[in-house]
Amino acid sequence: MTSNMDEKTETLVFTRKDTNIAKGLFIIMMLIHHLFYDYETFGNFQVSFFLLSPHQVVVLAQYFKLCIAGFSLLTFYGLTRKYMQTPRTCYTRQVIPITIKRYLTLVLSFLMVYILSVLTAIIMKEDLASLYSNGEKSWLGYGIIDAFGMADFFHTPTLNVTWWYMSFAIAIIFLFPLFYKLYDKCGAVLVAIAAILPGALNMESTYYGMCTFSMVLGIFAARVDLFSRLRAFGRGNLWVKFWKAVWCAILVAVSFQLLFYSVSASWYFGIAAISWTFISFEFISPIRGIREVFAFIGKHSMNIFLTHTFLYYYYAKDFIYSFGNGILIVIVLLVCSLLIALAIEGIKKIIHFQAIVEWAVRQIFRLYAPTCPTGWK
C-alpha cells in the first residue's frame, strides 16, 4: 500500500527524468526543423510526407524552431530548482562556483566533441587551415575560439554551422544568476516585464531577446512548482484530462499564429516552450515504454545536437535523404546521431572524462571554500 502511494506521489513531481523526456521531444523537433526548414535543404531529393504537402512540412519545421526556447526554459527551470536547495544566507557565496561548475561541465563536454570532430574532418580531408583563415590572420586562433564554443560571440569561423548555439548556451548560464536575483526582487512581475521588454526594445532580432520570456518562465515554473500543480489538478478525472488537452491545443495554436503573424517572437517562444513542456509531462511521461524512449533520447540530446549536422548537412546528406519518406528520414538521422552520441559517451568512460570534470570543479570549489551546507559538491 505504501509503495503504491509513493509511486502516485512521485509521478506528480517534475523530475530529472521528466526533464529528459521533454528534452527528447525538443531534440526531435530540432531534427525536423533542420531537415525540412526550407526547400533548398531537401528540394533536390524525392521526399514524400504521407498526409502533408511539402509546404505544410516546411511551415511545421519552421514552427519547431521553438525547440531553442524549450531548452532555454528547461535550463532555467533546472538551475532554479538547484538554487532553491541553497540557503538564502549562502546564495552570494555559492553563486560563482555553482555557475562555473555548470560552465565547465558544458565547455569540457563540447571540447571533447570538438576534438573528435576535428579528427573526423581530417579523415574527410577537410582543409581546416582554410576554414579558419580570414585574410592574413592566424587560423589557429579561430580554431581555439571555436573549440571553446565562442565562435558566435566573436563572429569567427566554425567547424559546424549549428554550433552557434554553444555561445548562446554559455551566455545563458552566466545570465541565470542575474535573472534569478531579479526574480527574488520582483517576483512574478518579472514574467510580465520579460514578456513586454524584448519587443519594446527591439531585441527580438536576437535569440537572447526572443528567449528572455522563456527563460523567466522557466524560473517562474520552478518557483511555483507549476508543472506539478497543473498535473495534480483533477488527477484521475478523464473530463479534466480532456480539457487540459483542449487548452494545450489552444496554446499551441496561439503560439503558431504568433510566429506567422509576427506579433511577438518572444511570446511565440515562451508560450510554445511552456505548452510543449507541459504536454510532455502530462501526456508523454505517464506512458510506459514511450517515456523511457524519450528520456533516453533526451539524456543524449546534447551530443545529438552537436553531431547531427555532420550527418544531414556535411558528410552524409545523400544517405540521410535517400530514404525518401519524411518520417523515415527523421528516424534514420535520430538513430545515427544517437549511435554517435553513445560512442562519444563510451569514449568518455574510457578516458574517465567525468573524473576530469569533477577534478576541475573541485579546484573551483576549493578556491571559494564554501562553508554553507549544500548538495552541489
Cβ-contact 361, 101 below 8 angstroms: yes
Q: What pTM does this model have?
A: 0.92
How confident is the model at residue 368, as a pLDDT? 59
User: Considering the domain boundaries, does residue 61 fall inside one?
Assistant: yes
Cβ-contact 61, 17 below 8 angstroms: no
User: Considering the domain boundaries, does residue 280 fall inside one?
Assistant: yes
Rounded distance between C-alpha atoms, residue 301 and residue 173, angstroms = 18
Rounded distance between C-alpha atoms, residue 329 and residue 36, angstroms = 10
How confident is the model at residue 262, as a pLDDT? 63
Cβ-contact 14, 227 below 8 angstroms: yes
Cβ-contact 304, 341 below 8 angstroms: yes
User: Considering the domain boundaries, does residue 377 fall inside one?
Assistant: no
Question: Cβ neighbours of residue 32 under 8 Å, at least 6 residues apart?
Answer: 60, 61, 64, 330
Cα of first residue to Cα of last residue in the chain, in angstroms, is 35
Cβ-contact 13, 228 below 8 angstroms: yes
Rounded distance between C-alpha atoms, residue 12 and residue 286, angstroms = 10
User: Considering the domain boundaries, does residue 376 fall inside one?
Assistant: no
Which amino acid, residue 62?
Q
How confident is the model at residue 135, as a pLDDT? 63
**Closest C-alpha among 153, 270, 274 to residue 211:** 270
Q: Which domain holds residue 206?
A: 2-368
How confident is the model at residue 8, as a pLDDT? 46
How confident is the model at residue 140, as a pLDDT? 80
**Closest C-alpha among 191, 175, 171 to residue 183:** 191
For every one of its 377 residues, what pLDDT tens digit does the chain have, with 9 covering 90 and above?
444 434 444 468 999 999 999 999 999 999 999 999 998 888 889 999 988 999 999 999 999 999 999 999 999 999 999 888 877 666 666 777 778 888 988 999 999 999 999 999 999 988 888 888 766 566 788 999 999 999 999 999 999 999 999 999 999 999 999 999 999 999 999 999 999 998 888 888 889 999 999 999 999 999 999 999 999 999 889 999 999 999 999 999 999 988 877 667 899 999 999 999 999 999 999 999 999 999 999 999 999 999 999 999 999 999 999 999 999 999 999 999 999 999 999 999 999 988 988 887 777 667 655 455 444 44
Helices (H), the chain: 2-10, 16-36, 39-42, 54-63, 67-83, 91-123, 128-131, 139-147, 151-154, 164-186, 189-200, 207-223, 226-232, 238-260, 265-279, 290-299, 301-309, 317-321, 326-350, 353-368
DSSP-assigned letter for residue 202: T
Give tens-digit pLDDT for 123-144.
998 888 888 876 656 678 899 9
User: Considering the domain boundaries, does residue 317 fall inside one?
Assistant: yes
User: Considering the domain boundaries, does residue 313 fall inside one?
Assistant: yes
How confident is the model at residue 137, as a pLDDT? 61
User: Considering the domain boundaries, does residue 375 fall inside one?
Assistant: no
Question: Which cell goes with 361?
Answer: 570543479
Rounded distance between C-alpha atoms, residue 29 and residue 27, angstroms = 5
Cβ-contact 146, 156 below 8 angstroms: yes
Rounded distance between C-alpha atoms, residue 190 and residue 213, angstroms = 9
Give tens-digit pLDDT for 271-318.
999 999 999 999 999 999 999 999 999 999 999 999 999 999 999 999
Cell 582543409 -> residue: 127
DSSP symbols for 251-275 = HHHHHHHHHHTTS-HHHHHHHHHHH
How confident is the model at residue 1, as a pLDDT? 40
Q: How many domains does the chain have?
A: 1
How confident is the model at residue 9, as a pLDDT? 43
User: Considering the domain boundaries, does residue 374 fall inside one?
Assistant: no
